[in-house]
Amino acid sequence: MSLTNPNKVVTEQRLNEYHNAILPYLGGMPEMVANKFSKGDLYSTEEKMIGQWIDGKPLYQKTFEFSSKLVGNGNTWINTNIPQSTINNIIFGFGKSDNQFYPITINCDTYINIMHFRNTNIGFNSITIQYTKTTDSPISIGSDTDYSTEEKIVGTWIDGKPLYQKTILISSQSAATEDYPLSNFGITNYDKTIAVWGILPNVGVPIGYYYSNGNYLSANVGSDKSLSVAAPTQANNFPLYVTLQYTKTTD
């Protein structure tokens, strides 16, 4: 129902017409802005441009659904048919099993392949990946970027405090576990950790990935306000992107 005309039904076609009418006045990339309007469409089996990565390139997302649960021995590979040559960075990947979410490993060979969380028999209903492309150039959509190496307010936490987000690049580490003071990254007055996620972009390994013998790639913020990264030998000397969401003591 329309606010200006109670007898007029709002259909998907009319919403699309509305988007197309106002997008030229919003600037930026129409497809990206339209997808931001239609949040429900972000999870689609069609490739969607959903935002922007820290290097300014458009960020894409695609979901792969399975008619029956995809169950394997922990090393099941799925061919996405996305040519490896078109992928610049893999930003994020997770599998959904009923109401639970698990990190997945993404490998680039000729095509992007996705592997189950190692050493489990999880059955996935769907898998979602986010990535950037080699064929794109950085774009400008104002200050409304999704990932940034600059601290930005992205919303509000349940207690009403501003929610901050920042993406940190750990170039490499040699020790199994290293602590990085948040002040080194320009983060001050850190209060509560809301979410931590990230990935080794070169090899598509997400934070939370299990290697072997109880070793995980992990990242968390301790009481000393340092980012603690545990990287098994297999993950050392690779760059790691860590995205933090948090609140501040001063708000």
Q: Range with the lowest mean pLDDT among 58-72, 124-138, 159-173?
A: 58-72
Q: Which residue has the higher pLDDT, 232 or 226?
A: 226
Per-residue tokens: 61 = 């997302």
Q: Which residue has the tokens 């299990």?
A: 210
pLDDT over threshold 80, residue 177:
yes
φ, ψ dihedrals at 99, nearest 5° = -105, 20
Q: What is the mean pLDDT of the chain?
A: 76
Query: pLDDT at position 66, please?
Result: 79
Cα-based torsion angle of the residue sequence 163, 167, 172, 177 in order, rounded to the nearest 10 degrees: 10
Q: What is the pLDDT of residue 70?
A: 66
Alpha-carbon dihedral 216, 203, 53, 192, rounded to 10 degrees: 10
- Given a cut of 80, is residue 71 above it in pLDDT? no
According to the model, what pLDDT value does residue 1 have? Answer: 38
Element (H, E) at 84: none
Task: Kindly state the percentage of the chain with pLDDT values over 70.
Answer: 71
- The arithmetic mean of pLDDT across residues 202-230, rounded, is 81
Sign of CA dihedral 204, 28, 35, 244: positive
126 pLDDT band, cuts 50/70/90, is confident
Residue 119 has pLDDT above 80, yes or no: no
- What mean pLDDT comes out for the span 8-24? 58
Please state, in angstroms and rounded to a whole number, the distance separating the CA atoms of residues 176 and 153.
32
Are 166 and 209 spatial neighbours (Cβ–Cβ below 8 Å)?
A: no
Q: Is 72 helix (H, G, I), strand (E, B) or coil?
A: coil
pLDDT for 64 equals 84
**What's the confidence (pLDDT) of residue 14?**
62
Q: What is the mean pLDDT of residues 216-224?
A: 87
